[in-house]
Amino acid sequence: MEQATVAPPWARAAEHAIAAGQWHGAWCALLDAALPAALAAQQAVLARLDAWDALPAQAPAAQRASLLRATLAALDAAHAASAAHGARAPDAPAGQAWRVQGTQLVKRYRSGGFTLGPVDVDVAPGRILGLVGENGNGKTTLLRLLAADLAPDAGQLDWGTPAHDPYALRARLAYIPQRPHPWGGRLMDHLQFAARSHGVAGEANHCLVELVIARLSLRAFRGHAWKQLSSGYKMRFELARALLTQPRVLLLDEPLANLDINAQQTLLTDLQSLARSPWRPMALVLSSQQLYEVEKVADAVLFLDRGQPRSVQERFAQMGGCAVEFETAWPVPALAAWLGQLPAHTHQVNGQTHIVSFHGATSAAGFLRAAVDAEMPLGYFRDITASTRRLFVQ
């Protein structure tokens, strides 16, 4: 009796998204699978993507699901055929993976008296490190060290491969600064050049560029000029150009700056899935002031304070109890009187936001219950016990 074929993880993820009517998520999974596929399979995916774009807005869900499942079946068959001819399975290791690792890194700026480090960083493919800290505390300097854009004054850098060829090394490192230079000319020319400079030419170049811009939801902006793009779409085109170099390490400086909340969440979701791709995982390091958003996707967070790394876990252990931040319409005297009835704590105010850190075993849920019982008018509440937000107010 023949055993049923078990679909690979990427195909199961795509089918789950289709069944749930999550069209964007389904296309993301399919486009990720198309990037390493044979040219004929890529061309077929792009043809189905054109058919998808041609669907009327009122197209029934069943029609959309049918088109997506046809794309899924074709890609699954293409990868099965490649595997039968000896190609590597997508979820199997492909030799030594690239990473970014820094040991006791130090960078000194003698003119300004600022010193970064010593600081340790270790990010493997498929992992995400968030860099947080106030402005001027060394986040950009650290990113440039990891990108081989600056040389450290002390310490060691290791990307998992010999670094004697600077060009070959930097070809595998993608660093996007907070304020990238404007693009002149046609956007598509820049993208095609990036792919061509890394050995992708002809029809393969066209397909790769089209797949990447589709993956980043940029198809509607192919004919735009740089000055016509919003900050969010400029960042996406920068990311597209970086991905076309097929990097193993991706370094982003404040990618969420100037983005609205929806654009921030969409970009972070895309970055998370790209970093953890079963096809070509990347080590991702990003800096941001958007603490809560970064904490949702990062595997670890490094807090820099005047150039020095601070251990989030150690600082939290020293802080003892829970911490909450909230906003209320209560007058200050009424709030102070109510807080005075609570267990020992520290109360700080940042604009209209109150931060209360308890010294003992008090839970955020207990605080919220007490506030509700007292009929406190809460406009905002957040448990920041395990958030790096606490490190900014201590």
- CATH number of the domain residue 266 falls in: 3.40.50.300
Cα separation, 138 vs 235, in Å, equals 22
Closest CA to 153 of 121, 122, 124, 114: 114
Query: What is the spatial distance between Cα 251 and Cα 130, in angstroms, rounded to a whole number?
Result: 10
Query: Which among 198, 191, 202 is positioned nearest to 224, based on CA atoms?
Result: 191
Q: CA dist 313 to 198, 309, 320, Å? A: 41, 12, 11
> Which of 281, 310, 339 marks a domain boundary?
310
158 and 298 both lie in a single domain:
yes
pLDDT level of residue 151 (50, 70, 90 thresholds): confident
Provide the domain count of the chain: 3
Confidence of residue 71 (pLDDT cuts 50, 70, 90): very high
pLDDT of residue 232: 83
Same-domain pairing of 179 and 272: yes
In angstroms, the CA 225 to CA 237 distance is 11
∠ CA 214-259-272, nearest 5°, is: 55
Instruction: Point out the domain boundary residue: 310, 332, 352.
Output: 310
Q: Are both 158 and 243 inside the same structural domain?
A: yes
Residue 4: the pLDDT is: 52
Q: Tell me the three state secondary structure of residue 262.
A: helix
Same domain, 178 and 206: yes
Give the lowest-confidence range in 43-47, 231-235, 253-257, 319-323. Answer: 319-323
Per-residue confidence (pLDDT) for residue 44, from 0 to 100: 94
Structural domain contains residue 242: yes
**What share of the chain has pLDDT > 90, as a percent?**
41
Of 110-114, 215-219, 278-282, 353-357, the least confident: 110-114
User: Which are the contacts of 394, defined by CB distance < 8 A and separation ≥ 6?
Assistant: 315, 319, 357
- Name the band, by pLDDT with cuts 50, 70 and 90, for residue 163: low
Query: Which residue in 213, 170, 214, 171 sits closest to 189, CA to CA?
Result: 213
Q: Is the full-model pTM beyond 0.85?
A: no
Do 192 and 274 lie in a common domain?
yes
Which domain range does residue 300 map to? 109-310
Mean confidence (pLDDT) of the chain: 85
CB atoms near residue 329 (< 10 Å): 11
